[in-house]
Amino acid sequence: MISLNGLTKRYGDKIVVSDLSLSIKTGAVTGFLGPNGAGKSTTMRMIVGLDRPSAGSVTIGGLPYARITEPLRTIGALLDARAVHPGRSGHAHLVALARSNGIPLRRVAEVLETVGLGAAARKRAGALSLGMSQRLGIAAALLGDPGILMFDEPVNGLDTDGVRWVRGLMRSLADEGRTVFVSSHLMSEMQLTADHLVVIGKGRLIMDAPLTEVIARSSLTAVVARTPHAGELASRLTAAGIGVERLGENELVATGAAIERVGDIAHEAGVRLHELRTREASLEQAYQELTEGSVEYGART
């Protein structure tokens, strides 16, 4: 488990991460979301000791990263796919990592095959495309067979098949009981992949909740009812403090209430229903509502 306790990072007068406290769940894919400049990459760098916190602490399995003897066996991280010596082959890069962490060299060939780079193992890292570099970075994260994995924008540069592969990999790692912490700006992928979401803006925590709860809280998530007595049902829902919009003579949309409550009110009023369903917001819509006031680098439209 990764635990953040009051984690703060300042650069001069600018606070990049502010008093961030949370625990990254085991056996789940936790999506880490936020606008550009929100502090996501800085937070991930502090987790693995690349940046020093100005205040607070972060532990991995109860220990700071610097006190873990063979860190690649505990946590594998992909933070910058290009952070490899350009003249060194992917195979040589992984061999060096394996030797530094007491990992059997047979793992090098195993992870290269896992990420689909077996045939390109001897190519210089500087000659790899961004997508191939991402695969090499993922191979490095998997090398020590760790229980915790952290990925910063892992699908950048990948084609459609690569994106689907990463999605399946994340899910399979979590299903094995591992902790998976992944940042992304692709909301559609996060909606398909994540179990839990951590959303930050301007360095501060906005939400730490299951994916389903984040979507359910959106004002665009609503209950659609179709009934020959739409007027009666609308009156009863309004009296109960539920927002109502009529879509037609026999259809309405209720906001601010769960489907069970709308159904109960219809039953108590003796209103016959022909249809009752939830219209969910997309994660992108829910995310935009959450971060509306936290966008630092917004372009004019």
Query: What mean pLDDT is predicted for residues 194-218?
Result: 92
Model pLDDT for residues 48-59, shown as the tens digit of each residue: 999 999 999 999
Residue 297's pLDDT band (cuts 50, 70, 90): low
Quick one: fold of 222-279?
A: Alpha-Beta Plaits (3.30.70)
For domain 2-209, give its CATH number from 3.60.110.10, 3.40.50.620, 3.40.50.1220, 3.40.50.300: 3.40.50.300
Whole-number percent of the chain with pLDDT over 90: 75
Domain boundaries, the chain: 2-209, 222-279
Query: What mean pLDDT is predicted for residues 60-89?
Result: 92
Model pLDDT for residues 245-267, shown as the tens digit of each residue: 998 899 999 988 889 999 999 99
The bridge status of strand 148-152 relative to strand 75-78 is parallel
3-state helix, strand, coil in the chain (%, to 5): 35, 30, 35
pLDDT recorded at residue 268: 95
Q: Is 230 in a helix, a strand, or coil?
A: helix
Model pLDDT for residues 120-152, shown as the tens digit of each residue: 888 998 888 998 999 999 999 999 999 999 999
pLDDT recorded at residue 298: 59
